[in-house]
Amino acid sequence: MAETITLSLQKREIIGKQVRALRREGLVPAVIHDHGKESIIVAGAYADVARAYHRAGKHHTVQLEAGGKKYVALIKHVDVDPKKNTYTHVVFNAVTANQKVEAEIPVRIKYAEGNDASPAERAGLIVLHNLESVEVIATPSTLPDVLEFDGEKLEKVGDVATVADLVVPKGVEIKTEASQQIASVFEPSALAAANDAAGGDATDDDASSVDSEHESNVIEGDQAAENKPGGKAQNEPKGE
């Protein structure tokens, strides 16, 4: 990928609950896991860390500089304060050019040229998106920014798109179950009825028993993750 994302971090000695003082100073505590070596405990300016995460997500490499050393890394995990919606801790996994890594790739619907909606939506139906990203295995240089599926196949009630419908470039292996649904088509009235039955909080699960997951977030960074050296269990597929 052509875009280069850089982030400068500073080494830190403060750990545990004392990192709250760092957050008050506008810093985000973080850790770099580096292939089984001792973890590098760091922190970065909040605005810089947030900007890097928004651009890189969990699928684009970030060029890190910390303590006079440089690392190429993927963002593995980000803790979020659910009340303030702010980042409280970041885990980076250092990678090498030929190392296969696991990453979360966003999925996106693609329409035919000239269209901005699926045939189902153009007919007044509703398309619910059940999956925002999939897990893949690839080398850093072959990680795609997004994986797309053909929205033109969504025409009538009951039509679905699954992980198997994603267009996958060469060198990328999908870990997510191929049968998992990405998007599905419903009648507006069915969703309205389900919404009423659910007290105004209906999901596609209420309408057709389709599973919908919601990620839960935590406030404090995982101290065990900071103390644990990076290795295959954290940033490399088994068997690599």
What is the structure's pLDDT at 211?
31
What are the distances in angstroms from CA 119 to CA 95, 123, 175? 42, 6, 29
Going along the chain from its start, the domains and CATH numbers come out as: 6-95+223-234 (2.40.240.10), 102-186 (2.170.120.20)
What is the structure's pLDDT at 36?
79
Q: What is the C-alpha separation between 187 and 231, in angstroms, rounded?
A: 48
Q: What is the C-alpha separation between 73 and 91, in angstroms, rounded?
A: 10
What is the structure's pLDDT at 209?
35
Residue pair 46/90 in contact by the 8 Å Cβ criterion: no
Q: What is the C-alpha separation between 165 and 174, in angstroms, rounded?
A: 11
For the chain, 240 residues long, give each residue's pLDDT as a single digit of tens: 458 999 999 999 888 888 889 999 999 999 999 987 889 999 999 999 999 999 999 999 999 999 899 999 999 999 999 999 999 999 999 999 888 999 999 999 999 998 999 999 999 999 999 999 999 999 998 999 999 999 999 999 999 999 999 999 999 999 999 999 999 999 988 766 666 666 655 555 544 433 332 233 333 445 555 655 554 434 444 333
Question: CA 67, 94, 231 angle in degrees (round to 5)?
Answer: 115
The tokens for 54 are 């928004």
How many Å separate Cα 65 from the centre of its chain?
23
Q: What is the C-alpha separation between 171 and 63, in angstroms, rounded?
A: 22
The tokens for 187 are 């009648």
End-to-end CA distance of the chain: 23
Within 8 A by CB and 6+ apart from 218, the residues are 79, 80
Helix H or strand E segment including 79: strand 69-81
